Amino acid sequence: MSSLNFDPYAQLAKQDSSPAKSANPAKVENNHLSLASLATLAARTTHSSNIWDAADWHAFYHERAGIAEHDGGLSRIDADHMTYEHCVVRWMNENPIGHKSPGICPQCSQATGSNPIAVLNPGGGHLWLHDKCHSPCLARRRQEAAKALVGMGIEL
Ligand SMILES: [Zn+2]
């Protein structure tokens, strides 16, 4: 058939109008996992520090530091510093700032006025704060992260 003579209505009329057959369901051969174990597995694969305990953070820290040292060629001191910074950032990402009132700076709790700066909030979206409050806010967040990490036995 030439494309110049193509009649889409005639083509549709020639097609079988019966519905497609449904696919056979997959056979589940490994059905020894209970719903509880699947729920636990699903919870452990999400990225929330609420479910990470000290053992999880230690495993993460030592894996990252080991990779940085052995595969990355860093000294152990540099690998520890890099990994600690990674943990701080990860903690901040997994524990976003909860204060999200529009027009209110999350650092000083004052109205942001007409010239705020936007900061990404890992919990979703962004926050607006004064430019003068950005550094103190970051410092406060780092202190919160350091305190939480110390509580899990991770510190420099
Ligand atoms: Zn402020």
DSSP string, the chain: --GGG--HHHHHHHS--SPPPPPPPPP-------HHHHHHHHHHHS--TTT--HHHHHHHHHHHHHIIIIIT---HHHHHHHHHHHHHHHHHHHS------TTB-TTT-SB-TT--EEEE-TTSSEEEE-HHHHHHHHHHHHHHHHHHHHHTT---
Q: Which residues contact 15 (CB under 8 A, 6 or more apart)?
A: none
Q: How far is the CA of 89 from the centre of ligand 1 (A)?
A: 22
45 Cα to the center of ligand 1, angstroms: 36
Percent of the chain with pLDDT over 90: 50
The Å distance, Cα 137 to ligand 1 centre, comes to 9
**Residue pLDDT, tens place only, 69-110:** 999 999 999 999 999 999 999 999 888 887 668 889 999 999
Going from the Cα of 32 to the center of ligand 1, the distance in angstroms, rounded, reads: 55
Instruction: Single out the residue of 80, 85, 61 nearest to residue 69, CA to CA.
Output: 80
How far the first Cα of the chain sits from its last, in Å, is 74
Q: Flag whether pLDDT at 141 surpasses 50.
A: yes
Distance 101 CA to ligand 1 centre (A): 12
Query: What are the tokens at 139?
Result: 């410092």
Q: How far is the CA of 116 from the centre of ligand 1 (A)?
A: 9
pLDDT band at 29 (very low <50, low <70, confident <90, very high): very low
Distance of CA 156 to the CA centre of its chain: 24
- In the reported structure, the alpha carbon of residue 14 is separated from the centroid of ligand 1 by a whole-number distance in angstroms of 69
Q: Is the pLDDT of residue 52 over 90?
A: no
Q: Is the pLDDT of residue 17 over 80?
A: no
Give the Å distance between the CA of 150 and the centre of ligand 1. Answer: 28
Q: Which one has a higher pLDDT value, 142 or 35?
A: 142
Quote the ligand 1 centre to 113 CA distance (angstroms): 10
Distance 139 CA to ligand 1 centre (A): 13
Q: In the prediction, which pLDDT does 51 show?
A: 73
